[in-house]
Structure 1
Amino acid sequence: MRRPVSAFLIVSAVLAAGVAGVVVGRSNRPLPSWLSGMLPLAARSSPVHMEATGPIIYYRDPDGLPDYSPVPKKTSSGKDYSPVRSSEEVSFEEKAPEETTAKGGEPGRIRFYRNPMGLPDTSPIPKKDSMGMDYLPVYEGEQDDDSSVKVSAGKLQKAGVQTEVAERRTLNTMVRAPGTVEEDERRKSVVSLRFEGFIDTVENVTTGTHVHKGQPLMRIYGPNLSSAAAEYLSALDGRATGALPIQALKGARRRLENLGAPETFIADIERTREVPVYVSWPAPQDGEIVERTAVNGMRAAPGEVLFRIADHNVVWVMADVAERDLALIKVGQKVIVRPRAYPDRPFIGKVTVIYPRLKAETRTARIRIELLNPDEVLRPDMYADVEIATGSETPVVTVSSSAVIDSGERQLVLLDKGDGRFEPRTVKLGRRGDGRVEIKEGLAENDKVVVSANFLIDAESNLKAALKGLDAGEKPQ
């Protein structure tokens, strides 16, 4: 009977010693009396225990609840909160965070705890927010670099952060605007008389008929024109006999010219030596008849418009450009015009005039584009879409438009400095186009910038600046 009992006692002692070793090795608390009684005398007389050192930094709940206090406190049951000194390791994570190192390789200590959601809220002691999330520790040395923020590799991967290098490119900005086809004002003319006349007959020309310069439009009789023609004929005969000086002949011809007599009419008088009763009135230019008021037998007063003719071989496109794009437009720039009636047939023209006034209602500026229209498919009042390629052929430093964080008051990019460090860099922007933006100041070629999820890093940077301000405010003045 005594051997089993001895064996039982030996096994119990070994187990108790093992448990005690585990407990003593992992805790600073004294052993319970029941466990202490089971240990050998040597184990009880020399327990492994490391006393906490340093000042008391806060007090924690004695029952292990997540409740802390910067000053001494009692629980509802009257128990005193346990003091926690600076040498004791405290963590709410399953695995204690590894101690970071400050600049120079010296171990860093926890300075304070910051809100896990990025709010400007700090705590000198471990704490949980309203959703039960642990406040994050901030170690010495983590905020020594005022110009950059460090983000862990895990966060970068989860956020999908992507970077690219700034590179030199030829940046062309395409300005688009609606336009309307109009007639060239320089290629329009009217047919009217400088004397009172009567239209005998109108030729077979109507509105829309294409006519050529010199083609007969109507036959006219004018008393004043016939009188001037007779005077000119007399001057011709007198000059032939030598009875009239050359000046008299020139004066008679000038009177016919002042009445607008066609050259063919004057040539007929000189050739036939007769005064025609009617004069055949020719078209003054090539083009289409856009208006006809002349009819057979009508009386035509001086200056009355009988025909309007417009040449459509060259037309204008009047485009309304937004005020913000006006600085990009220059006279002589190449323009692509796509008529909405022929969207697959672009016409190439150039900017000839930028009008000096804006439309107050639409805040647009009108520009004139000149186009060749050899087959006359472009008709007045047609709608068209105008594309103006602006920019220069000189390459400039550019980044993707997504790399720029624009707050309205400032524009910045996040410069990737390597090893998870990012520096907010204020930049001065230039032209935009093709999904990229010109960087005039702040970046150099081949600088690496963040183009995706950069707002998350910017939030970290803003939080760092806010925390630094709060930390500086806690220092004595």
Structure 2
Amino acid sequence: MQKKQRVRAVLITFGAVVLSGAGYVAGAHHAAKAGSASVAAMSVTSAAGARIDPKTGRKVLYWHDPMVPNQHFDKPGKSPFMDMQLEPVFADDAGVSGIKIDPGLQQSLGIRYATARRQDIAEGFDAVGTTQFDESRADVVQSRVTGYIDHLYASAPMQRIAKGAPIASLFVPDWLAPQEEYLALKRSGMDSSMLDAARARMRAMSIPDDIVANLDRTGNAQTHVVLSSPETGVVSELNVRDGAMVTPGQTLAKVAGLSTLWLIVEIPESLALSVQPGMMVDAAFAGDPSQHFKGRIREILPGINTGSRTLQARLEIDNAAFKLTPGMLMRVRVAAQKPASRLLVPSEAVITTGKRSVVIVRNADGRLQPVSVTVGKDVGEQTEVLSGLTDGDRVVASGQFLIDSEASLKSVLPRLEGSTNADPVAPASGPATTDASPTYETTGRVEKVTADDITFSHQPVPALGWGKMTMAFGKPSPTAFPDAKPGEMVHFAFRQTDSGYQLTTVEPVGGAK
């Protein structure tokens, strides 16, 4: 019996020792785990109060959601806006301009680079022109006497006519008497002085010299005269008909020549100051680009066309082959009198935001930075840069809008609409609200109110594809919505701005809207 009691005592002692060992091991494991957690906590906040990233050991300024870069958080965690972890913003990146994109991502985005180069470019430009009659060479056919249209050879306006071709036959009854008188004096043997006086009277009555010569030769009086075309061209005006009576000085017809034409070039208003008389013009017929016609600008017509906002320049072009007719549309290249040095970049490298023009420049360290530029004229597929770049700068020539999206993750996108000299990690100076941006509404419970924002646990927003979530919305000013208290159910409206989502109204549920 005593032997059994001794065995029982030994077993109890052994069990106590085992339990004590297990407790020690568990306690040591718990202590180690607690110590590890303490170390991890220290890796986030150092003894000096600085926030340190445990992975890189770099000092952290704050954490943020790259999709809402102006919302800052003082500790890591899950983003209240998206299903993702907050990302740290490091202190050593604060003074660095631009963003760094992984080379693999650059290849995926299809990024190509180009170099801004200064080139000697002639200040020429393309325009359109229209051919017109050369009004300076238009001829008029008039009657110098009173008579009647005996026969009209030109039947209608815009009829082509050759030089010397008849236009109208005119019967002049007043010419009969002086001619008969001259013939009578000649048959009576009067002296030459009387005959000379009779000839002078006939010339005074506008009897042509060829009729007087024919009168001496044949002895027959003529009362008809044929009016002919002085130029090869078109009968642009025809003001009489067969049998019509005409008076001295009356215009019977107008003939416009076709050997030379006017080309009226439409100059855009933005280029009006760069056009001068004497500039060379190379024009091509739209129907046959192989046919080229050259000339020099003779004069700049005064006034701007209020409909097309263009200035008109006029020049003469040679049409001796009669290939052109008035009204034809011509493609025109106006060449400069001398070339000028210009800084050019590919036109696709320029992003127009509506307020300014921006190019994305690759810095020496490989970072990409948006730079505001002042653009000039387009030269083919290139654009002139007047300010903002220097010769040799590397710019992004493709993938700008993809970079634009990536840049927004790094707080660079707001700088495209703001000052390009702003700190890339600093929040925007003000919530630049765009009146044209849409407004969204929902209801939710107020969780937290600060001077900068209000945090809500809100219902879904179908227009944005949002489900239920807890999210902070910016306030337009620190004193806005003073009645919003944590725990209240409210109806609120907001819109998207350059600095995130900003509240426009906050009202208790059931309140007047």
TM-score interval, normalised by the smaller of the two chains: 0.5 to 0.7
* Alpha carbons of structure 1 residues 310 and 156: separation in structure 2 relative to 1, 3 Å: same
Distance 1:135 1:311 in 2: 80
* Gapped regions of structure 2 (runs ≥ 5): 1-19, 416-421, 431-450, 452-513
* Alpha carbons of structure 1 residues 368 and 229: separation in structure 2 relative to 1, 3 Å: farther
Bigger strand share: 2
Q: Which residue of 1 aligns with 2:127?
A: 176
Q: Which residue of 2 aligns with 1:312?
A: 258
1:428 corresponds to 2:374: yes
Cα offset, 1:311, TM superposition: 1.2
What does the per-residue CA deviation read over 1:295-351, in whole Å, with 9 as the maximum and x for residues that have no partner?
Answer: 665432333433332211112244544434444544344444444554554444444
Q: Contact conserved, 2:124 with 2:334, CA < 8 A, in 1?
A: yes
TM-score normalised over the length of structure 2: 0.61
* Alpha carbons of structure 1 residues 253 and 50: separation in structure 2 relative to 1, 3 Å: same
Q: Contact conserved, 2:203 with 2:209, CA < 8 A, in 1?
A: no
2:94 alignment partner, one of 119, 139, 143: 143
Distance 1:447 1:136 in 2: 32
SS at 1:370's partner residue?
Answer: strand
Distance 2:160 2:246 in 1: 22
Cα offset, 1:51, TM superposition: 9.4
Cα offset, 1:126, TM superposition: 0.6
Distance 2:51 2:235 in 1: 101
* Alpha carbons of structure 1 residues 249 and 125: separation in structure 2 relative to 1, 3 Å: farther
1:192 corresponds to 2:142: yes
Distance 1:33 1:249 in 2: 158
Question: Could you tell me which amino acid in structure 1 is paired with residue 66 of structure 2?
Answer: P
Paired residues for 1:101-120 under 5 Å: 108-120=58-70
Distance 2:387 2:351 in 1: 15
* Alpha carbons of structure 1 residues 290 and 262: separation in structure 2 relative to 1, 3 Å: farther
1:132 corresponds to 2:83: yes
Q: Which residue of 2 aligns with 1:378?
A: 324
Distance 1:467 1:443 in 2: 20
1:404 corresponds to 2:353: no
2:249 alignment partner, one of 296, 303, 318: 303
Q: Which residue of 2 aligns with 1:286?
A: 232
1:121 corresponds to 2:43: no
What does the per-residue CA deviation read over 1:423-470, in whole Å, with 9 as the maximum and x for residues that have no partner?
Answer: 443333221121211122232222212222335366443458476444
* Alpha carbons of structure 1 residues 280 and 463: separation in structure 2 relative to 1, 3 Å: closer
Distance 1:205 1:51 in 2: 110
Paired residues for 1:15-54 under 5 Å: 34=22, 36-37=24-25
SS at 2:85's partner residue?
Answer: coil
* Alpha carbons of structure 1 residues 418 and 308: separation in structure 2 relative to 1, 3 Å: same
Cα offset, 1:35, TM superposition: 7.6
Q: Which residue of 1 aligns with 2:269?
A: 323
Q: Which residue of 1 aligns with 2:389?
A: 443
* Alpha carbons of structure 1 residues 277 and 85: separation in structure 2 relative to 1, 3 Å: closer
User: 304-313 vs 452-461, which deviates more?
Assistant: 452-461
Distance 1:444 1:286 in 2: 58
Q: Contact conserved, 2:148 with 2:245, CA < 8 A, in 1?
A: yes
Question: Could you tell me which amino acid in structure 2 is paired with residue 400 of structure 1?
Answer: P
Q: Contact conserved, 1:53 with 1:86, CA < 8 A, in 2?
A: no
* Alpha carbons of structure 1 residues 448 and 325: separation in structure 2 relative to 1, 3 Å: same
Question: Could you tell me which amino acid in structure 1 is paired with residue 364 of structure 2?
Answer: G
Distance 1:287 1:233 in 2: 40
Q: Which residue of 2 aligns with 1:7?
A: none
| RMSD between superposed Cα atoms in Å | 4.8
What does the per-residue CA deviation read over 1:102-125, in whole Å, with 9 as the maximum and x for residues that have no partner?
Answer: xxxxxx411211222253111111
Cα offset, 1:398, TM superposition: 0.5
Q: Which residue of 1 aligns with 2:303?
A: 357
Distance 1:442 1:88 in 2: 38
Distance 2:308 2:251 in 1: 36
SS at 1:413's partner residue?
Answer: strand
Cα offset, 1:142, TM superposition: 0.8
Q: Contact conserved, 1:116 with 1:133, CA < 8 A, in 2?
A: no
User: 327-336 vs 121-130, which deviates more?
Assistant: 327-336
Question: Could you tell me which amino acid in structure 2 is paired with residue 412 of structure 1?
Answer: V
Distance 1:154 1:131 in 2: 25
Distance 2:167 2:33 in 1: 128
Cα offset, 1:211, TM superposition: 2.3
Distance 2:74 2:265 in 1: 65
* Alpha carbons of structure 1 residues 250 and 469: separation in structure 2 relative to 1, 3 Å: farther
Cα offset, 1:399, TM superposition: 0.6
SS at 1:161's partner residue?
Answer: coil
SS at 1:156's partner residue?
Answer: helix
Distance 1:319 1:138 in 2: 58
TM-score normalised over the length of structure 1: 0.65
SS at 2:395's partner residue?
Answer: strand
SS at 1:141's partner residue?
Answer: helix
